[in-house]
Amino acid sequence: MSKIANAFKNGKAFIGFLTGGDPSLAKTEEYIFEMIAGGADLIEIGVPFSDPIAEGSVIQRANLRALSAGTTLPKLFALVERVRQKSQIPLVFLTYLNPVFRYGYERFFQKCRSVGLDGVIIPDLPAEEQGEARIFAEKEGVDIISLIAPTSEERVRVIARNATGFLYVVSSMGVTGVRGEIQTDLASMLALARSVSELPAAIGFGIGTPEQARAMAGVADGAIVGSAIVRLIEQHGETAHEPLRRFVAEMKAAVLES
Amino acid sequence: MSNGRYGPFGGQYIPETLMQEIHALEDAYARYSDDTDFNAELETLLREYAGRPSLLYFAEKMTAVLGGARVYLKREDLNHTGSHKINNVLGQALLAKRMGKTRLIAETGAGQHGVATATAAALLGLECEIFMGREDTERQALNVYRMELLGAKVNPVDSGTKTLKDAVNETMREWVARTHDTHYLLGSVMGPHPFPRIVRDFQAVISREARAQVLQAEGKLPVAVMACVGGGSNAMGMFHHFVPDAGVRLIGCEAAGLGVDTHQNAATIANGSLGVFHGMKSYFCQDEQGQIAPVYSISAGLDYPGIGPEHAWLHDSGRAEYVPVTDEEAVAAFEFLARTEGIICAIESAHAVAHAQKIVPQLPENESVILCLSGRGDKDVAAIARSRGVQVHE
């Protein structure tokens, strides 16, 4: 059992995302601890990429800010190492494949293990293409977290069977970003996933309010929130500490009520 | 998985949300590419609507001026909508219709692929939205209006470098949001499998015709065929049926912008490295961190940081050669062809003309070469004038 399972130990989980290096690496480090203080159970750190094709405009802008601030993968590994000295919270990267590929799969997953990163989410690496990375990830005990989409249908069986860490259930079609309503039949998706996998499942994409978080955690084991957090950081820049902690606490409370 | 691979290149590196749809496309293509009715309908459209076969024109004056091998021009510029793009567009639009799609979306750089897609959508009664980098909508304003005339909605893209790569990003984002009624009509031999294969097959009509035409005219195969390369669709089309002919050199001409040793170019084979982007493993212009590099070319259609996976493989296996051509050389070749043959070709195609000017004088007079003129140059006249310091109003 990987450390990621710990995130789901205390009831329903709240998973928070922020883009690494937005507005700066120092602030990202402080903000991670604010999110932990607010009650986050797992933190996703986005590795900024020049062309984030699965992201909506909010996270696209965060990627640009982080890259302009000089954020790189080696610097984010150093950040994880610093956070790890003070906290055992499960940490994962959300990264597009190319930065990992350029770094080298073997070296990348060795580094993940040595700094204490528990898993990676790679939105442009579907099940069929995971083999080339998975051999190195498994060797180092790092989870590659698989995504399940509303269009996955029967693919859910194959994906869930090979998945590690947790199942990332994409709530609706489209890119990341807060949505007014989520209409997917998530209960059926979850039922199918659970029939083939013991892993916890968390729902992400489009969740921005406590009501949505409560509803999503109601059908799954947790809720993932990215764009709403990144937007707070965009609004408050270097002084997002307080609003961030308050927002995470509110969302965590909603998730627990579900 | 060997499917969709060219050596180590290719693959399907896309979000899970699109996987079901991409498999549906694979299935539909497998079914219809061998379907008699489908192929008959496509052939009729290519002949009656697009104007195929395109001419293989012996450029006698250019041959005389260069003083070497006999130069033939494969006149894709004479197709309906003015470029080779229509070959792929008609094929994919028919396929989309067979799949029950009612809406086409596409990226465009210079606007040629967007115009072709909007044209097919108008003809076949499909809705159409085109994504085009803001910078490209400005340098190719006339094509934007053409697309609108044809009933398409043009969405200027303001993210990233505001050029072709960003248009592809935005079209993918749109497709992730809406697959049930929408086909992404990808314009080049790039992206996730099966697009590199589908686009190559539909463009292969270029070399199928050209090979027969040159045999008819010369009684033997040419020593080289050449074409410009961005993503690489006209080049793949020009190369495909010559790939088994070991004696025919396949030459792709990349956009070297201000020079391969500057930061202002789009020469992927010269300057790129192995990476994974836009759904495929291939060569890309990128930095050490794997961030995709901003690229530059005077030609909006070649202004792309990657190259199709089959080209990457043809390069690595040594079957094809790829050479850089600068903006300055391309502009000079654009003017050369206009004055020598009375043909105003696309600035993209002028990259191939420029390379022909370099190598044809060294080739024997009793041999021939074929140049793919991928498009016509009306769209480029204003920009070329500007680059020469002449102000014209469109």
Question: To the nearest whole angstrom, how far is the Cα of B298 from the nearest Cα of chain A?
Answer: 22
Say if residue B89 is in the same domain as residue B184. yes
Measured CA to CA in angstroms, residue A222 lies from A158, A248, B81 at distances of 22, 13, 52
CB contact under 8 A, A126 and B279: no
Assigned token pair, B92: 């994919």
| Per-residue pLDDT tens over the stretch A134-168 | 999 999 999 999 999 999 988 998 898 889 999 99
CA dihedral A115, A121, A124, A125 (to 10 degrees): 80
Split at pLDDT 50, 70, 90, the class of A124 is very high
- Looking at residue A57, which CATH number applies to its domain? 3.20.20.70
Q: How do beta strands B153-157 and B70-75 pair?
A: unpaired
Taking an 8 Å cut-off on Cβ atoms, the answer to whether B286 and A98 are in contact is yes
Whether B107 is a known active-site residue: answer yes
Reported ipTM: the value is 0.96
Q: What is the CA radius of gyration of chain A?
A: 17
Q: Does the beta carbon of A157 lie under 8 angstroms from any beta carbon of chain B?
A: no
Interface test with A, best of B21, B276, B278 (most A CBs within 10 A): B276
Task: Write the pLDDT tens digit of every residue in A17-65.
Answer: 999 999 999 999 999 999 999 999 999 999 999 999 999 999 999 999 9
Please indicate, yes or no, if residue B292 is contained in any of the structural domains: yes
Whether residue B170 is found in the same domain as residue B23: yes
Q: Contacts of residue B158 in chain A, CB cutoff 8 Å? A: none
| Residues belonging to chain B | 394
Residues of B in contact with A131 (CB under 8 A): 1
* Last residue of one domain, picked from the residues B199, B218, B248: B199
CA distance B117 to B94: 11
- B32 inside domain: yes
Q: Which of B21, B26, B76, B107 is catalytic?
A: B107
Q: Are B91 and B132 within one domain?
A: yes
Q: Does A172 fall in a domain?
A: no
What is the CA angle B300-B283-A140, rounded to 5?
A: 135
Residue B394 has a pLDDT of 57
Which of B199, B230, B265 is at the close of a domain?
B199
Model confidence pLDDT, tens digit, residues A195-210: 999 999 999 999 999 9
In a domain, B2, yes or no: no
User: Is A151 part of a structural domain of the chain?
Assistant: no
**Is residue B127 domain-shared with residue B150, that is, in the same domain?**
yes
Q: Which residue of A has its CA nearest to B281?
A: A98
For residue A51, the chain B residues in CB contact (below 8 A) are 160, 165-166, 169, 277, 292
B153 catalytically annotated: no
Examine residue B393 and state whether it is found in any structural domain, yes or no: no
Position B138 scores a pLDDT of 87
Question: Structural domain tally of chain A?
Answer: 1
Separation in Å, CA of A161 to nearest CA in chain B = 15
- pLDDT band at residue A1 using 50, 70 and 90 as cut-offs: low
Q: Is residue A96 part of a domain?
A: yes
- Going from the C-alpha of B367 to that of each of B70, B215, B364, the distances in angstroms are 6, 12, 6
Same domain, B112 and B233: no
Kindly calculate the radius of gyration of chain B based on its CA atoms and give it in whole angstroms: 19
B394 found inside a domain: no
A-B Cβ pairs (cutoff 8 Å, strict): 117
Q: What are the DSSP calls for B307-349, one per residue?
A: --HHHHHHHHTTSEEEEEEEHHHHHHHHHHHHHHHS--B-HHH
The residue among A247, A183, A171, A174 whose CA lies nearest residue A209 is A247
Give me the pLDDT at residue A149, please: 94
What residue type is B357 in one-letter code? Answer: Q
Q: B122 and B230 in one domain?
A: no
In a domain, B1, yes or no: no
B214 inside domain: yes
Measured between CB atoms, does B8 come within 8 Å of chain A? no
User: How many domains does chain B divide into?
Assistant: 2
Find out whether B91 and B124 touch, Cβ atoms under 8 Å: no
Contact B176 A103 (CB under 8 A): no
Whether A10 shows a pLDDT value over 90: the answer reads: no
d(CA B374, CA B112): 10
Q: At which of B178, B199, B220 does a domain end?
A: B199
Residue A173 sits at the chain B interface (C-beta within 8 Å): yes
The letter for the amino acid at B192 is P
Alpha-carbon torsion, ordered B351, B77, B206, B364, to 10 deg: -50
pLDDT per residue of chain B (394 residues) written in tens, 0 to 9:
456 999 999 999 999 999 999 999 999 999 999 999 999 999 999 999 999 999 999 999 999 999 999 999 999 999 999 999 999 999 999 999 999 999 999 999 889 999 999 999 999 999 999 999 998 898 788 899 999 999 999 999 998 888 899 999 999 999 999 999 999 999 999 999 999 999 999 999 999 999 999 999 999 999 999 999 999 999 999 999 999 999 999 999 999 999 999 999 999 999 999 999 999 999 999 999 999 999 999 998 899 999 999 999 999 999 999 999 999 999 999 999 999 999 999 999 999 999 999 999 999 999 999 999 999 999 899 889 988 899 886 5
Is A61 contained in some domain?
A: yes
User: Do B23 and B63 share a domain, yes or no?
Assistant: no
Domain that holds residue B177: 7-46+85-199
Q: Where residue B76 sits, what CATH number does that domain have?
A: 3.40.50.1100
Please indicate, yes or no, whether residues B324 and B244 belong to a single structural domain of this protein.
Answer: yes
The reply to whether B15 and B146 lie within a common domain is: yes
Query: Is residue B194 located within the same domain as residue B210?
Result: no
| Chain B residue numbers touching A53 (CB-CB < 8 A) | 15, 169, 172-173, 176, 278
Q: Which segments of chain A are extended strands (E)?
A: 13-19, 42-46, 91-94, 119-121, 143-148, 167-170, 201-204, 222-225
Domain contains A132: yes
Task: Please tell me if residue A93 touches chain B, with a CB cutoff of 8 Å.
Answer: no
The first and second tokens of residue B146, run together, are 């053409």
pLDDT score recorded for residue B1: 41
> Searching chain A, which residue's CA lies closest to the CA of residue B192?
A124
Judged by a CB distance cut-off of 8 A, whether residue A132 touches chain B is no
* Residue A167, min C-alpha distance to chain B (Å): 13
Residues B224 and B337 grouped into a single domain: yes
Catalytic one of B129, B135, B374, B379 = B374
Contact A151 B169 (CB under 8 A): no
On whether both B42 and B166 belong to a single domain, the answer is yes
Q: Which helix (H) or strand (E) holds B229?
A: strand B224-229
